[in-house]
């Protein structure tokens, strides 16, 4: 048997890309590849890319530039671009960077073995179709190898919402849900390999409709799997938070009290211009209902500042909404015009105004995040341990609320789920003391 070829995958963007990268690695095992952590000795480099903001897309080209010496030293090295930049730019990528051998979109990577065979023959390979066949149905069975306690599991892909700023409906295509039996089988399989927490993924995960009762129905079914201790899901759109899903937060003990529910803006005028199809008030009322079902839930969100037409008053509305919600975690971005989206046609807010607003918003969000962490001090949480920390004897894991918690104690293993008392909050994590092991 010949020595295995080495595949280096670098992942950008959202968690769905993390999941896809795992599956791409698995798809290429049939061609004799094993994954490696270093580009230097790779036979193939795959960049799994993100197109969401201009900076994210440009990173790909600068990264490709860095691989040039490797390609010069080893002409047999193959370089591929996958993910959302591949979908958005297609053949343009090879034009701009001719050393790229392969371009594959997020809906066609199950065809990687054929594409790889093509590039091995010295040809270029390009596939950015949205094929009829279900890529997950075509991918090889997942390996049985043991894995860590956390896993992502994509259940839904694509988006039909067409927010005016967003490339996702174009790069990922129309909304599709995976059939529940396949999802449940994959979850069972992950649990048999050591997984104790599954995060269900979708660009619009709460639009999932592959199970009776939608995402809530799927969550109830997953909760029946012995050995699966924790369920999370991301990312949700406010308009798809149905009654059953809200209720699930109170009913399903395995569903963790953390919800990422982006609102983008607190101004009704801007929400309308963004095509978000709800008002700030509706979002706040929705949160009230969610908090009634699960009072301790930790809220997370995404915000865009400087959307075209955003005035000082609109921005103040965002600040007011944030103050009212009290986020435990949040992500905020300067608006970035994306080619092909409706908002890209509109006049932009000045860069210095965007910068000032971003700074102001981020300082409030950081303050809220710190306050949420401080509020954990003295409380008991359950931590799912993942890996050793930076200090000797330290293990790190996540609480129910997705806070990183580190504990120094003997005998903790990755995968342990233990009671921990929080004793201190530092900038990005909590320190705890072990109460019980398990
Ligand atoms: N499906 C998710 C979000 C996907 S993109 C949802 O609907 O919430 C992740 C985040 O990137 C978005 O929530 C938004 O805040 C941000 N984003 C998307 N397009 C952007 C753009 N053109 N400029 C700046 N931020 C953007
Ligand atoms: Fe993009 Fe909006 Fe769809 Fe989220 S809901 S992926 S922001 S179009
Ligand atoms: Fe980026 Fe595509 Fe995810 S654009 S955020 S990698 S869906």
- Ligand 2 atom index nearest CA of 166: 1
* Residue in 52, 203, 331, 355 to alter for ligand 1 test, most ligand atoms within 8 A of Cβ: 52
pLDDT at 437: 59
- Ligand 2 atom index nearest CA of 302: 7
What are the E-state strand segments in 40-119? 44-49, 78-82, 102-104
CB of 47 within 6 A of ligand 3: the answer is no
In a domain, 64, yes or no: yes
Sheet strands side by side (includes 33-35): 33-35, 5-11, 44-49, 78-82, 102-104, 125-127
Residues 251 and 297 in one domain: no
What integer best gives the mean pLDDT of the chain?
96
- pLDDT band, very low/low/confident/very high, at 438 (cuts 50, 70, 90): low
Residues 189 and 250 in one domain: yes
Residues 20 and 113 in one domain: yes
Residues 88 and 16 in one domain: yes
Alpha-helical runs (H) found in 121-257: 135-138, 168-171, 180-192, 214-222, 243-251
> Quick one: tokens of 7?
């595949």
Burial grade of 267 (CB within 10 A; 0-12, 13-18, 19 or more): buried
Q: Measure the CA dihedral 414/225/216/402, to 10°.
A: -10
Query: Is cis: bond before 371, omega within 30 of 0?
Result: no
The Cα-based distances of 387 to 199, 228, 252, 353, 420 in angstroms read 18, 19, 27, 42, 16
Residues 294 and 214 in one domain: no
Going by alpha carbons, the residue nearest to atom 8 of ligand 1 is 262
CB of 172 within 6 A of ligand 3: the answer is yes
Query: Ligand 1: distance of its center to the CA of 203 in Å?
Result: 10
Alpha-carbon gap, residue 412 to 433, rounded angstroms: 12
For the segment 386-413, the average pLDDT, to the nearest whole number, is 95
CB of 341 within 6 A of ligand 3: the answer is no
Helix orientation angle between 280-293 and 243-251, rounded to the nearest 10 degrees: 30
Q: Choose the final residue of a domain: 240, 256, 272.
A: 256
Residue 251: CATH number of its domain = 3.30.750.210
* Residue in 53, 85, 171 to alter for ligand 3 test, most ligand atoms within 8 A of Cβ: 171
Sequence-ordered list of residues with C-beta below 8 angstroms from that of 81, at least 6 positions apart, any chain: 46, 47, 49, 60, 64, 93, 100, 102, 103, 104
Query: Ligand 1: distance of its center to the CA of 303 in Å?
Result: 8
Query: Ligand 2: distance of its center to the CA of 331 in Å?
Result: 15
Q: Choose the final residue of a domain: 95, 127, 159.
A: 127
Residues 235 and 158 in one domain: yes
Query: Quick check: 118 pLDDT over 60?
Result: yes
* Tally: H helices and E strands in the chain: 14, 19
Going by alpha carbons, the residue nearest to atom 7 of ligand 3 is 168
CB of 383 within 6 A of ligand 3: the answer is no
Query: Among candidates 418, 414, 420, which has minimal Cα distance to 433?
Result: 420
Residues 405 and 364 in one domain: no
> Quick one: tokens of 377?
């001090």
Question: Can you give the pTM of this predicted structure?
Answer: 0.96
Residues 11 and 116 in one domain: yes
> Quick one: tokens of 74?
């080893």
User: Which residue segment(s) compose the domain that 170 sits in?
Assistant: 144-256
Residues 371 and 386 in one domain: no
pLDDT at 164: 98
pLDDT at 296: 97
Give the DSSP H or E segment for 405: strand 404-408
Residues 371 and 384 in one domain: no
CB of 17 within 6 A of ligand 3: the answer is yes
Ligand nearest to the CA of 318: 1
In a domain, 420, yes or no: yes
Q: Choose the final residue of a domain: 67, 95, 127.
A: 127
In a domain, 282, yes or no: no
- Ligand 2 atom index nearest CA of 235: 4
Cα–chain center distance at 376 = 25
Burial grade of 26 (CB within 10 A; 0-12, 13-18, 19 or more): middle
Q: For 267, list phi and psi in degrees, rounded to 5.
A: -100, 125
Query: Ligand 3: distance of its center to the CA of 20 in Å?
Result: 11
For the segment 209-213, the average pLDDT, to the nearest whole number, is 96
Burial grade of 159 (CB within 10 A; 0-12, 13-18, 19 or more): buried
Residues 92 and 203 in one domain: no
Query: Quick check: 321 pLDDT over 60?
Result: yes
> Quick one: tokens of 97?
């960077």
In a domain, 352, yes or no: yes
Q: For 73, list phi and psi in degrees, rounded to 5.
A: -75, -30
Query: Ligand 1: distance of its center to the CA of 112 in Å?
Result: 28
Tell me the per-residue pLDDT of 412-421, one tens digit each, with 9 for 90 and over. Answer: 999 999 999 9
CB-defined site of ligand 2, < 6 Å: 159, 161-163, 166, 168-169, 203-204, 237
The Cβ of residue 90 has, within 10 Å, a number of other Cβ atoms equal to 16
Residue 390: CATH number of its domain = 2.40.50.140
Q: Do 155 and 190 form a contact (C-beta atoms < 8 A)?
A: no
pLDDT at 2: 73
In a domain, 17, yes or no: yes
Tell me the per-residue pLDDT of 144-197, one tens digit each, with 9 for 90 and over. Answer: 899 999 999 999 999 999 999 999 999 999 999 999 999 999 999 999 999 999
Tell me the per-residue pLDDT of 255-306, one tens digit each, with 9 for 90 and over. Answer: 999 999 999 999 999 999 999 999 999 999 999 999 999 999 999 999 999 9
Ligand nearest to the CA of 175: 2
pLDDT above 90 as % of the chain: 93
Domain count within the chain: 4
Count CA atoms closer than 13 A to 169's CA, side-chain side.
12
The Cβ of residue 432 has, within 10 Å, a number of other Cβ atoms equal to 27
CB of 60 within 6 A of ligand 3: the answer is no
Going by alpha carbons, the residue nearest to atom 12 of ligand 1 is 302
* Residue in 154, 160, 166 to alter for ligand 2 test, most ligand atoms within 8 A of Cβ: 166
CB of 86 within 6 A of ligand 3: the answer is no
Query: Ligand 2: distance of its center to the CA of 317 in Å?
Result: 21
Residues 402 and 364 in one domain: no
Query: Among candidates 198, 174, 234, 211, which has minimal Cα distance to 14?
Result: 234
In a domain, 284, yes or no: no
Query: Among candidates 113, 65, 83, which has minimal Cα distance to 10?
Result: 83
Residue 107: CATH number of its domain = 3.40.50.12160
In a domain, 346, yes or no: yes
Query: Ligand 2: distance of its center to the CA of 165 in Å?
Result: 8
Residue 337: CATH number of its domain = 3.30.750.200
- Ligand 2 atom index nearest CA of 167: 1
In a domain, 274, yes or no: no
CB of 306 within 6 A of ligand 3: the answer is no
Angle CA(27)–CA(102)–CA(53) in degrees, nearest 5? 95
Query: Quick check: 330 pLDDT over 60?
Result: yes
Going by alpha carbons, the residue nearest to atom 11 of ligand 1 is 52
């Amino acid at each position: 048997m010949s020595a295995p070829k080495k595949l280096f995958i670098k992942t950008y963007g959202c968690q769905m890309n993390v999941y896809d990268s795992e599956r791409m690695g698995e798809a290429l095992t049939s061609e004799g590849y094993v994954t490696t952590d270093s580009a230097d000795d790779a036979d193939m480099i795959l960049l799994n890319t993100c197109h969401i903001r201009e900076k994210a897309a440009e990173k790909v080209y600068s990264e490709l530039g860095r691989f040039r010496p490797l390609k010069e030293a080893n002409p047999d090295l193959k370089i591929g671009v996958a993910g959302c930049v591949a979908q958005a730019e297609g053949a343009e990528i090879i034009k701009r960077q001719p050393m790229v051998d392969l371009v594959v979109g997020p809906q066609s990577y199950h065809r990687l073995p054929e594409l790889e065979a093509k590039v091995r023959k010295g040809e270029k390979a390009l596939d950015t179709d949205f094929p009829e066949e279900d890529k997950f149905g075509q991918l090889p069975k997942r390996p049985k190898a043991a894995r860590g306690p956390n896993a992502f599991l994509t259940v839904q892909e694509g988006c039909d919402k067409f927010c005016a700023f967003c490339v996702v409906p174009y790069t990922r295509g129309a909304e599709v849900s995976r059939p529940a039996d396949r999802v449940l089988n994959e979850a069972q399989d992950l649990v048999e390999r050591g997984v104790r927490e599954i995060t269900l993924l979708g660009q619009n995960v709460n639009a999932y409709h592959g199970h009776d009762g939608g995402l809530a129905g799927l969550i109830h079914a997953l909760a029946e799997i012995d050995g699966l201790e924790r369920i999370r899901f991301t990312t949700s759109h406010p308009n798809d938070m149905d009654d059953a899903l809200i209720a699930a937060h109170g009913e399903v003990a395995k569903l963790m009290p953390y919800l990422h529910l982006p609102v983008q803006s607190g101004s009704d005028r801007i929400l309308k211009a963004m095509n978000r199809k709800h008002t700030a008030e509706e979002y706040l009322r929705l949160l009230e209902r969610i908090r009634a079902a699960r009072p301790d839930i930790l809220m997370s969100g995404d915000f865009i500042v400087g959307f075209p037409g955003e005035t000082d008053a609109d921005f103040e509305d965002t600040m007011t909404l944030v103050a009212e919600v009290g986020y435990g975690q949040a992500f905020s971005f300067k608006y970035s015009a994306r080619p092909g989206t409706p908002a890209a046609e509109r006049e932009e807010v000045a860069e210095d105004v965007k910068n000032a607003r971003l700074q102001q918003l981020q300082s409030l969000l950081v303050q809220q995040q710190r306050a949420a962490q401080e509020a954990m001090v003295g409380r008991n949480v359950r931590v799912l341990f993942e890996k050793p920390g930076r200090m000797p004897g330290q293990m790190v894991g996540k609480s129910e609320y997705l806070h990183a918690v580190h504990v120094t104690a003997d005998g903790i293993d990755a995968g342990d789920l233990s009671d921990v008392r929080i004793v201190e909050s530092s900038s990005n994590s909590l320190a705890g003391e072990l109460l019980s092991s398990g």
